[in-house]
Structure 1
Amino acid sequence: MNRLINFGCSFRYILIAIAIICWWLFNSSYAQAASPSNSGLTGLWEYPTAEILGDGIGWFGYNETYPYNQVYITLGYLPNLEINLRATNFLNSPLISPGFGHYKDKGFDVKYRIKEQEGIYPSIAAGILDISGTELLRAYFIVGTYRFDNIAMSLGWGSDRLGGVYAGIEWQPYDWLTLKAERSSMDYTYDYAGHPDYEKIEKDEDYNLGAIISTPWNLDFNVSYQRGEEVCIGVRYNFDLTKPIFDGHKDRLKGLPINDLPSWDEIDAKSMATEIANKLATELPIKDIQVFVDERKLLITYENVGYSSEAEAMGRVLYLVSHIVPWDLESISLVPKVRGTAISRVDIPGEHCALLRLNELRKEYVADSQAYFLNPKEQSGISGDEKWAFSVTPTEDIKDESKFKVMPVYELRALRGQEDYYMDRTSLDFIYEWNPDYEKDRSKKGTAAIVDIRMPLYNDIELDYQPYMNDDTRIWRAVYSIMHRVDTNTFEVGEVGWLDQTWFGVNYSRRTYFQNGRWWMGLKAGIVHERDPYSFASLSDYRVSYGDLDQYIEYGANEGWWTVGLLQAGYRYPELDFEVSVDAGVYADGNPGGTVTFIRRWDDLGIGLWATRTNHVPEGEDFTNSGVYLEIPFDTWRGTRSKHIWRQKARIQGWFDPYSGREADWWQGPDQLWGQLNPDRLLNNLYKELEQGQSMAKEMKYSMQEGGNTYVP
């Protein structure tokens, strides 16, 4: 691009001028907000600062900063830790092909804040750019940032392409406007684009400056003037994983008066229990409801069929019940089930119902409650020698023994082919789910099944290493599953059938939990056979070729049935809902190896990072494959009620050996079935749900009316 303007003053005079203006406005009180650098990490323009996105806060965006276009997603993954995944398009590289365009590169960056700002001492952070993958843009940095009011000043040092010492300033004069300027020491000869076959990158000036415009819709736009010659633009969307994405407004509980409630002695307990059971059955998507009653105590069992979050389902049950029970209730216990099997129990003091009615229940009060796994013999939810006076069930309950649905499916492939940068396929899935009436036929407890037929409608995905991405209608999944509780802390689940798009066979998993679900040990085993990717349901008579990989794998007749055997262990940090797990054993290709997975969850939404190492390791790498794992609930979206969670384990970096580290997917594995009902996890998520504006009552307003307070939507 041509040079647009040539500034005559040096960068230091720009900094002095901005500093004087900032000092003049020092006492102004504006919102303070960090912003991303070109690549996505919180920073200036080309450089990171020591500021970190808040836990669960993130943004995704696009920047056009010639010679690069960058798409990124950045997240405050843990306290003081920020991660960034990006794709970089090198515009100064020669065209690889008419369809694929310029060279493109995937990168992963991390930044850790060593210390927060305190007194006169700045916050300090260090990090690594391009920590895995091609490492073409690899660099290390350390930086300090001092923020006072609406001004932040940074000084740092970066290796390799970052070029040494850098400095910059950020000023937010208004809520909607942020100004940033930096002194750059970037050395572009370290970039992949510095190769002789590429257009040489030069810069006319060592400064970058520009502005960010914020909008009320979580969209921000930026324009900057970089290297003394380029006008650069970008856009980003800000999100908060602790809240529903796009402000997902779910249906609210209606018609819940909070007039002065009677005492226990003033009510008919059986009528109250019947009212609770019927309201739960009609107001909420739960089934198999039973209400047990004794003197000033309640116990409610149910199965969630409509919320991706078990904590939200329980929170809604508690909220509804709290507006019916007497004010002097002693305790309430809630017992969620899965496939007719009671998993865990939560005991809550009765006064928490009163606090909930007043919208004054806070997550700190979780210390007054307790949760624990139930003994398999206590399937009614009743522990030990407990006695209850009577129980009631709803007049009408949800019976969904079978369910048929048609679901559109959109699949995309980006940065995967030599001819097309972006490919996609649109299909229709015809799905039949079978969930027997477990209360009516107790012999079927723990069982369920699914048949999913996928019919492609439009397909421009042509990847020889993914032969199942074709236009043939076929069984995508057809599984019979059974779950069984061995004892109080041990669960097992097995599946048989067409497990996913590539395997037919059997999956088995067993887990034992310790310290109330804090950590676990188990195993996973499987016997699988490759499917014919071009057949409706047949098994393959040959070893499926995933591209031209003869240099790595000797293809021949199909080896028949393959076996998988993995020992597993995991530890969960309850305060952060952060889990570390390790698998070790033999994968489907017969090679030994292991996988390490880190996954952070915000209730029903999860983001994980994983790496697998087997005998096949790319030269110079420490792992065979690595990538991300996603759990995205469907009812995240506005106005949607669904228990479905979209799960995807995606390879991002590493050697493409299609057989290394392979194992069959699950339809409903251990984490899907009972993971959210882990006692520690469930209890903490429940109180977080309740505190978030009393989330199931959010946007409700109360007006004083004659006779007491009444809910007004």
Structure 2
Amino acid sequence: MTLRALFLAVLAAYSANSLANVVPPTLGDFGGVGLMQTPSARMLPAGSVAIGTSKVEPYGRLAMTLQPFDWLEAVYRYTSVSTVKYAADPTGKQSNKDKSFDLKVRLTQETRRLPEISVGLRDIGGTGLFSGEYIVANKRWNDLDFSLGLGWGYMGKRGDIENPLGWIYSGFRDRPSSFDSQGGKVALTSFFRGPAALFAGVQWQTPWKPLILKLEYEGNNYKNETGGPTVKQDRPFNIGLTYRHSDYLAFNIGWERGNTLLFGINFTGDFSPRRGVPRKVSDPAPVPVRPDNSRPAIANDWPEIVRQIEDNAGIKVQKITRRNRELVVKGEHKRYLYTAAALGRTARIIDAQAAADIDWITLSETHSGVPVLETSIKRDTFRKTLQQDASLGDLRRTVEQVNALPRREEEVFAKKDEVEFDWGFAPGYNQNLGGPDAFVLYQLTANLDAQLRLSENTWIDGLMSFNLYNNFDKFTYTAPSNLPRVRTYLREYMISSDVIMPRLQLNHVKRMNSDWYAMAYGGFLESMYAGVGGEILYRPLNSNLALGFNLNWVKQRGFKQDFALRDYSVVTGHASAYFRNIVPTLAPGLNLTLSAGRYLAKDLGVTFDVSKEFDNGVRMGAWATFTNVSAEQFGEGSFDKGFYISLPFDLMTTASTRRWANIVLQPLTRDGGARLNRGPTLYEITEGRNVDFFHKNFSSILQ
């Protein structure tokens, strides 16, 4: 072998190894994957959620990073500027707060020869203090990950490169000011305009796995800086390290601008289906298969069967009936997140005790007394699958799912009384972020919820909340408003009483036919409003489209959230279209909801709600509302918007549960675009008609 051939062989082997030795992505100062001040083309795994904080004087940042798809990163960020006072703070004690939002899209994935390339927008729709755009490429070489990018705006202030887009159109050579004191406006005319600057960096995964070293060259020259003239740059190079204590916790230390210390902490969680769930050691063991593989001659103790189904399968049984050679269990899920798990446990119990001539086992699912869906499986195939004599695919092919329509019942083996009473205690947490009184205002509560079911379709539910601890003593600021005060009395509602009644509501729900549902309700519908209303919903089975309409007359409640009412009243309602999985190839699980109508401040407009739903039930979404209220009349923020994450507790607990953790981030509480926060809605009640969710988690039928 010649020396040249040997060199090429070694180089090829080293290059092949370079893609295998992955330098893990780390989070930058602004949130999102990057080095320190500069972003990279890398992404976290889809389904990741990261919360990080960094301190580089005079800036303190708190950011949440969401990764709904492997090609899309979204960042929501608060920035505190210690050298500038918050204009809305009447005491002058609090530093300025800036709220902003970033997006990054991956254009290409890395290959053996080509880099990974992403394009991004920083500080969209904020005040524009840190707004900038960039395109960046990354390439790995063994334990090194190199990045090279071109930045505009805040990331390109050095301006040492003529904007290459100016060769296409001269208008790209100048950048209009994107600063807006109110924030909330997207400065489209500033994107990728003005002078540009190169930025670059490298990450080294050291031989000690927890430690990653970073070096970057940034494109910002820190002239005319938001933090004032005291912010100076001695050198454009930043150096730092990341210590990964675990897959969930990392610490950042660095030296930036040649004169300033960086310190940061990041928490990262993987909520995708890749992440395993805790073993359900607190769940009851499933009923074993009959050892002799036979069918009993007759079922003797139906009350005992009902008890087992409720205790073991988590189904609140309403009725057990027979239809020819089919046994039907009608009831509502109370424990298991996945319908397939409840169906499998129910089928075990029925198979062990049902009569010999029963061939099909059916779960007729209801919610709030409304029939939602019937799912049937073949008894013998189910037993063979448990005994590994048939495959899961064989069992899936026996599944039949139909509308739960009234049908003739030959025998009724068990039936529950319609009048029932349930109650329970649960902890609660309330917060308000970024106000002039304190960066975080929070409250811990103990919540008592109760439900009295008067009939199969009619019930009363209520909620009492008891204050345990809060820092509301700092809450002295009532936001100004140019509209009717439908939400900006937030301070008064939060501090007026330690014992409140957020909800006391009478509900009646009815299925009109196979695909139409209707609901009427009245009472104290949420913490700020009482009234009456109604809703109708068209939701066909196996359809990705649903249509709904609701209309409400509501009156503002007293600040103590007791039985008192204030003078303000309004008629509000919306027509809504729900689209599921709208781009299944490019963005599987992407859902869109469009709602148009009248809001609480009597403004008219449209709300766009976009979310990604993962196979395990996790949802990440954002909404924006645009009404006939101008940005000036709306006030700070310009329009209503926010972000949310819905996490099933089942992914985090050792006991199966259908409870959810809902995290909502709303930059500002304003009066424009405000909606009634009632619940539950018909779309939520009929969520069991989402048969895709059933089949994606079908394997849980064997648990």
Tell me the TM-score normalized by structure 2. Answer: 0.78
- CA distance, structure 1, for counterparts of residue 573 and residue 234 of structure 2: 59
1:342 to 355, 371, 389: 371
User: Conserved in 2, the CA contact under 8 Å of 1:607 and 1:629?
Assistant: yes
How far off its partner does 1:423 sit? 2.1
- CA distance, structure 2, for counterparts of residue 146 and residue 322 of structure 1: 58
How far off its partner does 1:309 sit? 5.6
Question: Partner of 2:204 in structure 1?
Answer: 171
- CA distance, structure 2, for counterparts of residue 208 and residue 359 of structure 1: 62
Change (3 A) 1:23 1:364: farther
How far off its partner does 1:598 sit? 0.9
Letter in 1 for 2:114: Y
Question: Partner of 1:629 in structure 2?
Answer: 644
Instruction: Give the SS at the match of 1:494.
Output: strand
Question: Over the residues paired in the alignment, what is the CA RMSD in angstroms?
Answer: 4.0
Change (3 A) 1:535 1:401: closer
1:250-649 equivalent positions in 2, closer than 5 A? 250-256=280-286, 261-263=291-293, 267-268=296-297, 270=299, 277-288=306-317, 299-307=328-336, 310=339, 313-314=342-343, 317=346, 332-348=361-377, 351=381, 354-355=384-385, 369=399, 371-375=401-405, 377-378=406-407, 392-393=413-414, 401-417=420-436, 419-436=437-454, 444-456=455-467, 458=469, 459-460=472-473, 461-464=475-478, 465=488, 466=490, 467-472=492-497, 473-514=499-540, 516-534=542-560, 536-541=562-567, 558=568, 561-573=569-581, 576-602=588-614, 603-619=616-632, 624-635=639-650, 637-639=652-654, 642-647=657-662
Change (3 A) 1:641 1:39: same
Letter in 2 for 1:103: N
How far off its partner does 1:160 sit? 0.8
1:587-636 residue CA offsets vs partner (Å, 9 max, x unmatched): 23332211111122344443321111112131599962111234344555
Tell me the TM-score normalized by structure 1. Answer: 0.77
Letter in 2 for 1:513: R
Letter in 1 for 2:495: N
Deviates more, 1:271-280 or 1:67-76: 271-280
What are the ranges of 5 or more consecutive residues in structure 1 without an aligned counterpart? 1-19, 437-443, 542-557, 697-713
- CA distance, structure 2, for counterparts of residue 44 and residue 329 of structure 1: 64
User: Conserved in 2, the CA contact under 8 Å of 1:93 and 1:102?
Assistant: yes
What are the ranges of 5 or more consecutive residues in structure 2 without an aligned counterpart? 1-10, 157-196, 479-487
- CA distance, structure 2, for counterparts of residue 622 and residue 369 of structure 1: 50
How far off its partner does 1:408 sit? 4.2
How far off its partner does 1:426 sit? 3.9
Letter in 2 for 1:182: E
- CA distance, structure 2, for counterparts of residue 585 and residue 595 of structure 1: 9
- CA distance, structure 2, for counterparts of residue 57 and residue 610 of structure 1: 20
1:163-197 residue CA offsets vs partner (Å, 9 max, x unmatched): 2211222232444232222222223336532xxxx
2:121 to 125, 128, 150: 128
User: Conserved in 2, the CA contact under 8 Å of 1:29 and 1:150?
Assistant: no
Question: Partner of 1:180 in structure 2?
Answer: 214
User: Conserved in 2, the CA contact under 8 Å of 1:161 and 1:191?
Assistant: no
How far off its partner does 1:113 sit? 0.9
Question: Partner of 2:62 in structure 1?
Answer: 71
1:346-373 residue CA offsets vs partner (Å, 9 max, x unmatched): 3446646655665997799967745444
- CA distance, structure 1, for counterparts of residue 537 and residue 612 of structure 2: 20
Change (3 A) 1:258 1:358: farther
Aligned residues: 626
Change (3 A) 1:647 1:220: closer
Change (3 A) 1:306 1:463: farther
- CA distance, structure 1, for counterparts of residue 648 and residue 288 of structure 2: 32
User: Conserved in 1, the CA contact under 8 Å of 2:221 and 2:233?
Assistant: no
Letter in 2 for 1:184: E
User: Conserved in 2, the CA contact under 8 Å of 1:371 and 1:683?
Assistant: no
Letter in 2 for 1:504: A
Question: Partner of 1:704 in structure 2?
Answer: none
Instruction: Give the SS at the match of 2:683.
Output: helix
Instruction: Give the SS at the match of 2:124.
Output: coil
Question: Partner of 2:697 in structure 1?
Answer: 686
The reply on whether 1:225 has 2:255 as its aligned counterpart is: yes
Question: Partner of 2:232 in structure 1?
Answer: 202
User: Conserved in 2, the CA contact under 8 Å of 1:363 and 1:684?
Assistant: no
How far off its partner does 1:533 sit? 1.8
How far off its partner does 1:535 sit? 6.4
Instruction: Give the SS at the match of 1:282.
Output: helix
- CA distance, structure 1, for counterparts of residue 659 and residue 590 of structure 2: 21
How far off its partner does 1:474 sit? 3.9
Change (3 A) 1:64 1:365: farther
Instruction: Give the SS at the match of 1:501.
Output: coil
How far off its partner does 1:446 sit? 1.9
User: Conserved in 1, the CA contact under 8 Å of 2:41 and 2:147?
Assistant: yes
